[in-house]
Structure 1
Amino acid sequence: MTSKLTQQVAAAFSNDGVLAQSIKGYSCRDVQVTMAKAVTESISSCNNLVVEAGTGVGKTFAYLIPALLSGKQVIVSTGSKNLQEQLFYKDLPALLSMLELTPKVALLKGRNNYLCQHLMAKELSGASSMDPQVLDDLLRINQWAGQTTDGDIGGLTSVTESSQALPLIVSAKETCIGQRCDHYDDCFTRKARNRAMDARVIVVNHHLFLADRILKETGFAELLPDSDVVIFDEAHLLPDIAVTYFGQQCSTRQLSDLFDKLIEIYRLELRDAKQIELLSARCAAMLNEWHQMLFNIGDTDWRRLLANKALSVLSWGLLKEIKVLQQLLLGHVGRSDNLDDEIEKLQVLANKLELFFLCENNQAAYSIDYGHRYLVLRIAPIDVAKECRKLFESNLAWIFTSATLQINRDLSLFTRQLGLGKCQEILLESPFDYQNNALFCVPRHLASVNNHHVALNQFVDVCVKAINAAKGRTFILFTSHRMLNLVAPALQRRVSYPLLVQGQANKQSLLKKYRQLGNAVLLGTGAFWEGVDVRGRLLSCVIIDKLPFVSPDDNLFRARSESIEREGKDAFSEISLPQAVITLNQGVGRLIRDEKDKGVLILCDNRIVNKPYGQAFLNSLPPMSRTRDLDKATDFLAKIK
């Protein structure tokens, strides 16, 4: 028997439904209707659903319309801020208007996306001793703070994403003083959370969703209500993000700031407790010494670093000093609210540090990320399927969708990574005419990508030819910052079109400028491989330097490889190849965004045609026409009007 929801969804997508009445030129797409029906069934029966929907299927409307018409409480989780904001500010308002529905809708990001008024005031009070550039950025942020209604840093365009001022003023659990804060009533983070708890449709990102679920499992406060339906868009990102949340991480910046805070508390509140200052300063000095030794060595693999006896002695000496400080502080509990807060934080950080130093879990990778002055210590589980299985077994509708989930027409890698049991799996092809509108070129006579000097010069030559044929209008996507930094100055000397290089400004500013210029060339790494939508003739060419295999030096990759090989399996085919196929598909997806789009994809890596594993890439790409002749590619580009 057909349910009422099924009938409502079918009517919405019909040729005389609300979409046809509201969208000029609307025509019913079979693949979109197929997906909408599957989502409707999942919501009605609380079944899990996994859908790969190629570019142009219209997956956003295909899942939002059934979700909204169901009247159930829905969480939509995305992998990127771009999509999160598009859903909240564009797609949801449009659909709610068409469907004449008025549920409360909320957007919630992780707290480090919101301005903290307390930290802002604190930083400005110490402005006299600040770096001039940081101060200039702080003043710009402060001006914006007087105008923003939600405190969302995503709306801040007057400073770059890499500004050193941003980490100083964004909300953080470690610096929050709760109801004692003078800005508690106006706190942007608290207001955003309150709106989410009261909403029927909540738009979040994968990081926040997983953090919230893990908090609930451990019995701590929750940010999100329990919902009836959870929809993951950009679901291909979930397995890697889950690794972060089922692992542990600790920034040494937190420790350094904590020692500074303890010295400040002594000087302002507890002048009779000189030992607090002395021991805190001693811990800070040892932390700096430990930092220096690690920066001098530069290795990221903690297991390898443990073999260094001097480093091992210094590490355990640091932890011993921290524990002495802890014992001292416990004797002052109750004397200062600020001190009590820091004692709790120190306990958490000391436990994390000890866990990292012990390095006892054979099923995890222990690694160090090197920042400008500080380190992030990470413990990442090799396999999160078991933890994810517990997460997704609750009785509600779990829906996973992305344009890139399959490897060789198979979704099982994704479902295995997330420990998904019984679920419906659907592959939906893009309705776009790739055969006639897109050309895929792997130029002949390319040197091996391992022959770095020759490959670099050849790559620049290819880029120059393609950019001139396309009259700008090109994305160049890199697998490493190193290659980007080598190519950018070389192109600057040889290309007359405007060059926009990742790092010059934040991502959204660069994309806005790209669209405004109309003939620009944008050079970017990972951030620009996905979540970017430039339609029409503005983007005619996408050039990729090489197949995006993960670095063999990556600690988590190495740990996973060793685990796979212990089981008698091949790490390359089980890990490297699938990850690279999905990443390449994401980059390719930037090219054709609309049924009228035309463009050329150029990949400067002949392994895709020379190596047996190249077929796995080719089988997973859209059905574009192919050529090895760069002249044919430039001719195609020259004809795009």
Structure 2
Amino acid sequence: MATRLEQQVAATFTENGPLAKHVKGFRLRQVQLDMAQSISQSIAHKSNVIVEAGTGVGKTFAYLIPALLSGKQVIVSTGSKNLQEQLFFKDLPELTQMLNVSPQLALLKGRSNYLCQYRLVEQMTAASTVDERTLDDLLRIHQWAGISKDGDFGGLSSVAEDAFAIGLVASSKETCIGQKCDYYEDCFTRKARMRALEARIIVVNHHLFFADRVLKETGFAELLPDADVVIFDEAHLLPDIALTYFGQQCSTKAVVRLLEQIIEIYQSSLKDTGQIESFSLRCLQQLRDWHNLLFETGNSDWRRLIGMKSIAFASWALLDELKLLQRLLQAHVGRSDELDLSLERLVEFIDKLSVFFHCDNPQVAYSVDYASHTVLLRISPMNVAKECAALFDQQTSWVFTSATLQVQRSLGLFAADMAMSDAKQLIMDSPFDYQAQSLLCVPRQLGHVSNQQMAAKQLVTVCQQAIRAAQGRTFILFTSHRMLQLVATELNQRSEFPLLVQGQDSKQGLLKKFRQLGNAVLLGTGSFWEGVDVRGNLLSCVIIDKLPFISPEDPLYRARAESAQQKQLDPFETVSLPQAIISLKQGVGRLIRDEKDKGVLILCDNRIVNRPYGAAFLESLPPMSRTRDLQKALSLLQDC
């Protein structure tokens, strides 16, 4: 017998229901109703469900409607800030009006998305030490801070989202002094969290959710409530994000900031102790030397790096310098609250670096991520199922959904990764007619993709023909920045259509230009493979350079591969192939976004048709028409 919630949800989708009354051109999609009912059952019975909902199912309304009608406290977690803001500012307001419900809603982002008033005042006081551009941005932020109600940088339009000044005044765990702060009562981060605790529907992102849960497990924090229901959209991202949070990480940017703060404390209140400054400067110099050695190698596998004599020597020398500073600060405990807090953080960093440098746990991967002026040290477990089993308690209904979860028509791999093998598993296929709307072309006579120069030359030739046939209106998706640059350089000299290349502008900036121009070609890597929605005839062709297998040199892959071998499993079949299938599905998903869309996908990698594992890719992709004849694909593009 259907529960009351299931009955309410079913009524919402009827021809006389609220959706039909408020949504222009509403037509019942049975898969959408089926998904909504499955989530209703999960909520009503405190059970768990995993749903792959293909493009066009309407998964957002399918999970928001049961959430809103349930009356329960629900956390909705997304993989991106864009979707987070779309849910909070667009979808939820529309649905609450349609359903005539008015639960309290809250949007909560990670700390770095909020202005810290204390840091802003600090920076304004030291304004004479920054360059003209940064000062101009700080003045704009100061002006905006006076009128902002929530301090969310998402509402700051007068300063670029990647501006250096934002990093100077963003809230951070390392610089927060809690209740001792003069701005504690007005703190934007604190207020956002208070709103979340009181709300019935709380919209967060996966990083914040896991950061909160992991901290809560250690007893250090409680930022989010223990909600009745947690819904993960873009759930395909969860296994990798979980790895990050169940491991450990340490940013050297944070270490630099701490050392600079210690010097500032010396200069402002402890000038009788010059050793504090000199020891801190020695640590900064040792850190720079260590950085330079790491950047020279560019290697991300720490086990290999620490095996190099020069890096091993510099690493232990850095740790020794930090320990000398620690002993010095311990001799001055009690002289300054700020110095005492800095000492606590220094000890924490020393402990993390020591664990990382020793790298003696065979069950984890030790890796180094490089940024422009810093490195991020990561310790990641090979498998997070055990940690997830403890995290996902039985008092909560857990809902996982994405357009890309299944591998060869099975959700078993994702369920195992999340320790959710007992959850109900559903695959809701897209209602789009892929056979009629799309064509997959793997051109004949392609060379082997391992020969990068030959592959680039062939790819440029294919791209030129496809771009001409489509009159622009093309995405070219790459598995490496190196190949992107090779192809971009060649096409820049030959293409008559506007080229938009990743790195020229922000992701949203490039997409905005693509839509405005109407005949552009966009070249991008990883971040453009997902979360991009261009509908209609603005996009008719998607070209993918090769199957997106992860590099065998990736430290986390190597650790997972070793773990699979220990269990007598094939690393390629259980680790590499499933990841590549999910990634390819994300890229393919950029092409058909609407029931009226038409287009051609060109994959320049013949392994999908001439290797045994190619069948696994094809079985997992939407049922597109297929051809090896490039001319047929070009003819179809001319008609799109």
* Deviations 1:430-480, CA, capped at 9 Å, x for gaps: 000111011111111111111211211211121122122222221111111
1:297 CA displacement: 3.5
2:198 paired with 1:198: yes
Return the offset for 1:157: 4.8
2: CA distance, partners of 1:615 / 1:539: 27
2:333 is the counterpart of 1:333: yes
Quote the residue 1:295 is aligned against. 295
Moved more, 140-149 or 89-98: 140-149
Shift of 1:513: 2.1
Amino acid at match of 1:269: S
Could you tell me whether the CA contact under 8 Å between 1:366 and 1:379 is conserved in 2?
yes
Q: Secondary structure at the match of 1:338?
A: helix
Q: Aligned pair in 2 of structure 1 residues 338, 309: CA closer, same or farther (>3 Å)?
A: same
1:311 is paired with a residue whose SS is helix
1:474 match: 474
Residue 139 and residue 616 in structure 1: after superposition, are their counterparts in 2 closer, same or farther (change >3 A)? farther
The answer for the alignment partner of 2:601 in structure 1 is 601
Q: Deviations over 1:475-497 (max 9, x none)?
A: 11111122222222322222222
Counterpart-to-counterpart distance in 1, 2:474 and 2:294: 41
Which residue in 2 is equivalent to 1:619?
Answer: 619
Larger mean Cα displacement after TM superposition, 561-570 or 185-194: 185-194
Identify if the C-alpha distance between structure 1 residues 153 and 448 changes in structure 2 by more than 3 Å, giving closer, same or farther. Answer: farther
Code of the residue aligned with 2:276 in structure 1: it is: I
Shift of 1:52: 0.6
1:184, 1:502 → 2: CA distance? 40
Query: 1:65 corresponds to which letter in structure 2?
Result: I
> What residue identity is the alignment partner of 1:231?
I
Matched, 1:67 2:67: yes
Tell me the distance in 2 between the aligned counterparts of 1:244 and 1:217. 15
Distance 1:118 1:631 in 2: 63
Distance 1:455 1:470 in 2: 22
Q: Which residue number in structure 2 is paired with residue 589 of structure 1? A: 589
Distance 1:398 1:564 in 2: 28
The answer (yes or no) to whether the contact 2:476–2:524 under 8 Å persists in 1 is yes
Please report how far the alpha carbon of residue 136 of structure 1 lies from its aligned counterpart in structure 2 after TM superposition: 5.1
Task: Name the counterpart of 1:524.
Answer: 524
- Which shifted more, 450-459 or 484-493? 484-493
**Residues 160 and 506 in structure 1, CA contact (< 8 A), matched pair in contact too:** no
Q: Which residue of 1 aligns with 2:239?
A: 239
Counterpart code for 1:17: G
Change (3 A) 1:447 1:134: farther
Q: Which runs of 5+ in 1 are unaligned?
A: none
Contact 1:76 1:232 in 2 (8 A): yes
The one-letter amino acid paired with 2:242 is A
**Secondary structure of residue in 2 paired with 1:225:** coil
The alignment partner of 2:174 has SS state of helix
CA distance in 1, matches of 2:575, 2:344: 40
Does residue 446 of structure 2 align to residue 446 of structure 1? yes
Moved more, 59-68 or 269-278: 269-278
Count of residues in Structure 1 that have an aligned counterpart in Structure 2: 640
Write the distance in 1 (CA, Å) between the matches of 2:132 and 2:606.
48
CA RMSD of aligned residues (A): 1.8
Query: Mapping of 1:129-168 within 5 angstroms?
Result: 129-135=129-135, 137-139=137-139, 141-142=141-142, 144-146=144-146, 148-168=148-168
Checking the alignment, whether the CA contact within 8 Å between 1:385 and 1:417 is kept in structure 2 is: yes
Per mean C-alpha deviation after superposition, the further-off stretch among 617-626 and 416-425 is 416-425
Deviations 1:334-393 (A, max 9, x none): 221221221121121111111111212110011112222322111111111100111113
- 8 Å contact 2:12–2:18 — kept in the other structure? yes
Question: 1:175: which partner in 2?
Answer: 175
Shift of 1:154: 3.1
Aligned to 1:173, the other structure's residue is in SS state coil
TM-score (norm 2): 0.96
Would you say 1:42 and 2:42 are equivalent positions? Answer: yes
Contact 1:235 1:402 in 2 (8 A): yes
1:88 is matched with which residue? 88
* Cross-structure match for 1:399: 399
8 Å contact kept, 2:74–2:230 = yes
Provide the C-alpha distance between the structure 1 equivalents of 2:367 and 2:77, rounded to a whole number of angstroms. 28
Q: Deviations over 1:159-217 (max 9, x none)?
A: 55544444323221101222343443433222221211111000001110111111111
Partner secondary structure for residue 565 of structure 2: helix
2:75 counterpart SS class = strand
Q: TM-score, normalised by structure 1?
A: 0.96
Give the match's secondary structure for 1:175.
coil
Cα offset, 1:132, TM superposition: 4.9
Equivalent-residue separation in structure 2 for 1:80 and 1:541 (angstroms) = 25
Structure 2 match to 1:367 = 367
**Whole-angstrom CA distance in 2 between matches of 1:157 and 1:496:** 33
314-323 or 393-402: bigger deviation = 314-323
Whole-angstrom distance in 2 between the partners of 1:137 and 1:600: 44
Letter of the aligned partner of 1:34 in structure 2? D
For the pair 1:387 / 2:420, whether they are aligned, the reply is no
CA contact (8 A) 1:162 1:503 kept: no
**Counterparts of 2:177 and 2:496, CA distance in 1:** 53
Compute the displacement of 1:639 (Å).
Answer: 1.1
User: How far has the Cα of 1:314 moved from its partner?
Assistant: 3.0
- CA positional deviation for 1:311: 2.9
Asked if the contact 1:244/1:380 (under 8 Å) is kept, the reply is yes
Q: Does 1:266 align with 2:266?
A: yes
Q: Deviations over 1:380-418 (max 9, x none)?
A: 111111001111133211000111111101111001111
Which range moves more in the overlay, 270-279 or 31-40? Answer: 270-279
Unaligned residue ranges in structure 2 (runs of 5+): none
Q: Structure 1 residues 132, 633: CA separation in 2 closer, same or farther (over 3 Å shift)?
A: farther
CA distance in 1, matches of 2:113, 2:255: 22
Equivalent in the alignment of 1:567: 567
How far residue 152 of structure 1 moved from its aligned partner, in angstroms, is 2.4
Q: Which residue of 1 aligns with 2:437?
A: 437
Task: State the distance in 2 between where 1:163 and 1:191 align.
Answer: 25
Q: CA deviation at 1:141?
A: 4.5
- The answer (yes or no) to whether the contact 1:47–1:397 under 8 Å persists in 2 is yes
Match of 1:219 in 2: 219
Q: Does the C-alpha gap of structure 1 residues 401 and 258 become closer, same or farther in structure 2, counting only changes over 3 Å?
A: same
1:309 aligned partner: 309
Residue-by-residue CA offset, 1:589-620 (whole Å, 9 max, x unaligned): 11111111111111111111111111111001
Deviation for aligned residue 1:289: 2.3
- Identical-pair percentage: 63
Equivalent residue, structure 2, for 1:610: 610
**Alignment match, 1:417:** 417
Preserved CA contact (<8 Å) 1:389 1:418 = yes
Contact 2:279 2:325 in 1 (8 A): yes
Please give the per-residue CA displacement for 1:482-541, whole angstroms capped at 9, x wherever unaligned: 222222232222222222222222222222222222222222111111111111111111
Q: Look up the SS of the partner of 1:362 in the other structure.
A: coil
Deviation digits for residues 285-343 of structure 1 (CA, Å, limit 9, x no counterpart): 22222223323333322212222234323322322222222222122222212212211
Q: Which amino acid aligns with 1:385?
A: A
Equivalent residues of 2:412, 2:421 under 8 A apart: no
